[in-house]
Chains A and B, each alone.
Chain A
Amino acid sequence: MNWESILSFARGPFFQAALLIFVAGMLYRLARILTLGWKPDRVAARGSRFGGAVKSFLKGILIWPFIPWVKNTYSRNPIIYWAGGLFHLGLFVTIFLGAAHELVWKSLLGFGWPTLPTPIVDWLAAGAIAAMIALFVNRLVNPVLKLISGPAEWANLLLVFLPMTTGYMLTHHLWLAYEEMFSLHMLSVDVLLIWIPLSRISHFMFYFFSKAIHGADFGKRGVTP
């Protein structure tokens, strides 16, 4: 086997299979949760459940990540706020607003969108990689994180780290030849896609549940979430 055929496998059938597993796996997880059953909340509200949920999302997505120091717990663990924030920002920007990825989206969805200039995406990607290293070290030394981290948590970090770094090296032509690095990038992406529904990386889906629940619970009590 040569790199060319590895690449076409990793971009072709393996990618499609991984994508299928990812989508099917996430749908399964979703269905599983939904079918466990919701109990109606019969408590008379003092404030708006819906309003609380909306506020909870607005604060969680648009406000807190950009002014983390306002949180009174920030000073106790600033690294996690900065590294966590930078990692997510870099990740989303690269995946959705990077020129190369946008082409993938276009081929998958049939339509595209404007992208950000490459240097910006580049710096954010580098930032995200640095943030992951910080998060890794933090997980190694923080007593709480040591206690709650098992093999799955380490696998999460590793399996996200690989596509990020190979992708970065690919665009900068570092270390390996283009085809080789591209193959590694695609292989790691495929593995990650399969891993996501099995792991807590799927939190991006359940985030919408927990945040809505949180907001509604505070809202109904007339408290800002």
Chain B
Amino acid sequence: MQTQTAINTFIEETGSWVASQLEACTRCGMCAEACHFYQATGDPEFAPVWKIELLKRAYEQRFTLTGKLKLALGVDKPIHDEDVLHWSKIIYEACTLCNKCSMVCPMGISLGPLIHDVRTGISKAGAVPADLMAAVNKQMEEGSPLGVTDDVYNDRMEWVADEWEVELPMDQRGADTLVVFSSIEIMKFPENIAAIAKILHKAGEKWTLSRKGREVVNFGFYEGSPERTKIIMGRVFDAAKELGVKKIVVTECGHAYDALRWTAANMMDVPAGIEVTHIVALLGEYVKTGRIKLKQGAYNDGAITFHDACKIQRRGGHIQEPRDILHILAPDSFKEMTPNREESICCGGGGGVIAIKEADPIRYAAFELKIDQIKKAGAKTVAMSCSNCRLQFVDCVQHFNLDVKVAGLSQMVADALEE
């Protein structure tokens, strides 16, 4: 492990953007109350402000008088190997980078992105938790963390096309839109692929899949490695360029959307003139412009609520579209959880947390907040637009033996299409 590399990375990352925010922190501790991992466990080390401690220490000790003084007096310690290992556990296992804390911090500090910066340092030091690193390596080698190789991809897509009798255009040059699924959908929720294909067909979209850009999930981004994040995003961008599409649609995956839509342009050269959007935005637009028509009240299976994903709603901005859709599908039975929209509570499984076995106890503990919300809303079904959230929900519903249905929004839309 190279602790010095971590320290150097922290210092490199610290431009005005990072430093001014580190300086603004008053150490008031209010952010802790926002974090589902702290709320669920009461472990003070899960306080967001503590998660950025290494970044803060590296910055202070390198750039500020007080930092140097504190170091000389022994009030603060330099960053050691044990620290890097210790924080590796805290920031990978007990943080989903949901950025809820930044909404509670009175100074508005962007804690989520700063914790991502801490991940970058720790990843460069080579101290990423083994389970997560294994998934990253798998994606680097095979193109997918869940083993969706070329062959598996072809087989699965053929099977989906047969099973649900949908058309799945592959590598079509001249299409307008490249749709990229996540391997969670490909392996665990294949019905989502069929649903989205059905909707796109109905809307008359000229779309295509790509064998080259076949995986939207980005484990390099979870890890916080800029190099691997770029390589993985590059596969999608290259495919889009080759096919000459105008638009890339990220399907039900939040972290991938954050990477491709909100981060890529600041990390690498992104192809000009290609818009990146999310399937929920597309659905909202189809419904609004009448390109698809939905059966009013198509859903009638008890109260239904919507879970806002941190990367698609809070950090993606697609807060209204799912509500517009649910108000059509379930005009009387749609109930909000509190808090909701941009203030929603995270599912607890994002940011790569669900991929780390050792995080299971706190991941389940964090979900209890969600259970409480669902119960208070009296919901029988929870709809969502992120497969990673959905994976967490499905796993937790089983773990806690809950009487709750978990629904993907695209599927609900596909089921409600007017002929």
Chain A positions within 8 Å of B, measured between CB atoms, are 29, 32-39, 41-44, 46-47, 56, 60, 64, 71-73, 76-77, 80, 84, 142-153, 198-200, 202-203, 206-207, 209-211, 213-215, 217-218, 221-225
User: What 5 pairs across the A-B complex have the smallest Cβ distances?
Assistant: A214-B108, A206-B24, A209-B20, A222-B317, A210-B24
Min CB–CB distance A102 → chain B (angstroms): 27
**Complex: how many Å from CA A60 to CA B105?**
10
Min CB–CB distance B103 → chain A (angstroms): 8
Nearest to A32 among chain B residues (CB) is: B63
Which of the listed residues B16, B25, B263 has the most CB atoms from chain A within 10 Å of its own CB?
Answer: B16
Min CB–CB distance A105 → chain B (angstroms): 25
> B167-175, B202-210, B337-345: which lies at the A interface?
B337-345
A142 in contact with B29 given A71-B104, A202-B23 (CB within 8 Å): yes
Tell me which residues across on chain A come within 8 A of B152, comparing CB atoms. Answer: none
Checking A73, A198, A223 against B33 with a beta-carbon cut-off of 8 angstroms, the contacting residue is A73
A38 in contact with B107 given A43-B265, A200-B26 (CB within 8 Å): no
A56 in contact with B108 given A36-B19, A223-B314 (CB within 8 Å): yes
> B40-48, B231-239, B323-331, B411-419: which lies at the A interface?
B40-48
B23–A203 CB distance below 8 A: yes
**Complex: how many Å from CA A206 to CA B104?**
17
From residue 10 to 31 of chain B, which have CB atoms closer than 8 A to chain A? Answer: 14-17, 19-21, 23-30
B75–A150 CB distance below 8 A: yes
Min CB–CB distance A60 → chain B (angstroms): 7
B265–A198 CB distance below 8 A: no
Checking A76, A198, A213 against B17 with a beta-carbon cut-off of 8 angstroms, the contacting residue is A213
A39 in contact with B108 given A33-B19, A144-B32, A147-B44 (CB within 8 Å): no
B317–A206 CB distance below 8 A: no
B367 in contact (CB, < 8 A): no
B50–A148 CB distance below 8 A: yes
Nearest to A47 among chain B residues (CB) is: B317
Nearest to B281 among chain A residues (CB) is: A46
From residue 91 to 149 of chain B, which have CB atoms closer than 8 A to chain A? Answer: 102-104, 106-110, 113
A209–B21 CB distance below 8 A: yes
A and B contact pairs by CB, cutoff 8 A, 18 listed: A32-B19, A36-B16, A37-B15, A39-B15, A39-B17, A46-B317, A71-B104, A73-B104, A144-B44, A144-B50, A147-B45, A147-B47, A148-B29, A152-B66, A152-B75, A218-B342, A221-B315, A223-B315
A60 in contact with B50 given A72-B343, A206-B24 (CB within 8 Å): no
Checking A37, A60, A207, A225 against B16 with a beta-carbon cut-off of 8 angstroms, the contacting residue is A37
